[in-house]
Amino acid sequence: TDFLEEIVHLDLPIHSETSSVVIAKSNMSDRGTILVVMGASGDLARKSIYPALWSLYMHDLLPANTFIVGFARSKISIADILDKAFSPTEQEHAKFPGFSGINFYEYGSYSDAEESLLLSLRFDSIEEHFRQKHLSGHNRIFYVALPPSVYQSVTTLIKQVWMAPGEGKTTLVLEKPFGTNLGSCDELSDHLSDLFQSEQIRLVDHYLWLEMTGTIMTVRSVNSLFSQIWDKNFISSVLISFKEDFGTQGRGGYFDKSGIIRDVMQNHLLQLLCVVAMEIPCGCSQESAIIEKSKLLEAISPIDPDEVVLGQYIGNSDREDGYLDDPTVPDDSLTPTFATIVFHINNDRWKGVPFIMTAGKALNETKDEIRIQFKSSLMEDIGLDLKRNELVFQIKPVENVAMNVIINEPGLSPRLIEDRLSLDLRKHFSNHRFPDAYENLFAHLLGDGQSIGSFVGAEELRISWEIFSPLLEKIESEQWKPIPYKFGSSGPVKAGQLIQAKGFKGF
Ligand code: NDP
């Protein structure tokens, strides 16, 4: 494993926790920041936003003069929100009052300024505090953790009532989904661009802020071992997979409106495809990453319906319910819970290399990974049935970088075998902290702008919908019937056959 260990040992500032420290601590500006969590009563706030902010605070990574104001319609308190989001350990207790002291919660409406007066008053009182501290002003970040149905009204209200005063910067952060097809994406983009300048809008796909996403960029770009063979001459196919070993768990109502393609493929998995296939952005700016992603997406050919397999899970003998048994799902739903789609990138680097995306619920395991298979080895060419050289980035549930290589089996008459060089990042860096995606994201939003991750650009988003919308329209207008697959299986057999037909070995 030495050489893989070396890869990860490179002390690159862009991916280490110390870089976040530098980011946040360097932000000793004369300006304050108010972070507003819109939808603070919700699931994302509880599961991801508040735990990430607490963790940054715990590690002294929140810049000074930062205040966090939760906002939603529910008449709850900030104590309720923090209580549900995390429990400080015994060692952490001492810091909790400090964190609690910079957090507030106000209730109001997402569309009516008068009903939301409490939030305006809270801004006034924090502003007064900044004034007393002789700060030159403050920035406001509105993190919209709300259902998309509220995006238009809440963003209008922000623009009309709550923009940062004076020279202060206002940033609007939105979470996917950004529309459900090309038309609704355009509608949202037009609405936002009528209200805000492009540099004020930040569209978040949290997969772009995972530690492993940053690692993939590093491994492929700074190691000549890989950077020189990162193209059609050496790579035979790429498989990007997302697997969950659980179903909708009684909450299929939401999922049924989107299906697996809209839920994870058009956003998360497409972003991973970009990270593997785009040209390395020059410089570290957000804009250069977005430009490279857009160029790559432009080069993707229209999806061939013959290279698509859809599935929907059914119950199994262990009495696990099928998708249609979920009482919140319509009995006749054709929504796919599984899909495999092949993409072709029509540019010099990738022409002829299939990029296969496969995603599903209720499968045999929970795992997100990217498998990059290299062209056949000499051994294969002379007829030995060995697996391909393969570079594997496992993203969830553990972060692992692995490589399949062909070696000698020890013995007097050695046999050629393939084996795996594997680096489990959490075990290897057992005394390091692994910031989660939201910590990385907030360190960037609240810091001075350097980062490991990137955002989704408006043009990039539009192109992504140009890729997926025609397929989704076809599936929906022709009422494609997904292939049933058993809960706990590896998905429809036909999907495996398609993957093999594209030259990917060992699926
Ligand atoms: P929730 O469904 O938990 O909604 C968040 C808050 O929005 C609720 O607490 C509620 O607050 C308010 N709300 C809910 N429904 C409505 C409605 N119909 N009209 C007005 N307000 C409503 O959403 P999540 O927190 O799960 O997600 C927020 C956003 O982030 C969504 O766009 C989601 O797609 C996205 N996202 C979520 C992820 C997750 O893991 N949860 C992952 C990735 C993206 P109140 O009633 O108090 O006003």
Ligand 1 in contact with 149 (CB < 6 A)?
yes
The pair of three-digit structure tokens given for residue 351, joined into one six-digit string:
């022409």
- 343: Cβ–Cβ under 8 A, 6 or more apart, which residues? 273, 300, 301, 303, 354, 355, 356, 357, 467
Local confidence band at 379 (pLDDT 50, 70, 90 cut-offs): low
Alpha-carbon dihedral sign for residues 256, 467, 187, 199: positive
From 48, 80, 146, the mutation candidate for ligand 1 (largest count of ligand atoms within 8 A of CB) is: 146
What is the predicted pLDDT for the residue at 18?
36
With tokens 């496969």, the residue in question is 358
What is the predicted pLDDT for the residue at 380?
66
Reply yes or no on whether 191 is catalytic: no
State the first-to-last Cα distance of the chain, in angstroms, to the nearest integer. Answer: 24
Higher-pLDDT residue of 499 and 17 is 499
What is the predicted pLDDT for the residue at 330?
96
**Partners of residue 419 on adjacent β-strands:** 405
- Interface confidence, given as ipTM, is 0.98
Ligand 1 in contact with 108 (CB < 6 A)?
no
With contact defined as beta carbons under 8 Å apart, do 157 and 113 qualify?
yes
CB burial of residue 245 (10 Å; 0-12, 13-18, 19+): middle
- Among 11-20, 54-63, 349-358, 413-422, which is the least confidently predicted range? 11-20
Helix 270-277 to helix 286-298 angle (10° resolution) is: 100
How many whole angstroms from 349 Cα to the centroid of ligand 1? 40
The radius of gyration of the chain from alpha carbons, rounded to an integer in Å, stands at: 24
* Whole-angstrom distance, CA of residue 41 vs CA of residue 61: 24
SS3 285: coil
Task: For strands 354-360 and 338-344, give the pairing.
Answer: antiparallel
- 201: Cβ–Cβ under 8 A, 6 or more apart, which residues? 171, 172, 174, 192, 193, 458
How many whole angstroms from 431 Cα to the centroid of ligand 1? 35
How many whole angstroms from 147 Cα to the centroid of ligand 1? 5
- Among 215-229, 351-365, 382-396, which is the least confidently predicted range? 382-396
Ligand 1 in contact with 39 (CB < 6 A)?
yes
DSSP state of 159: I
Letter for the amino acid at 453? G
The pTM for the full model equals 0.92
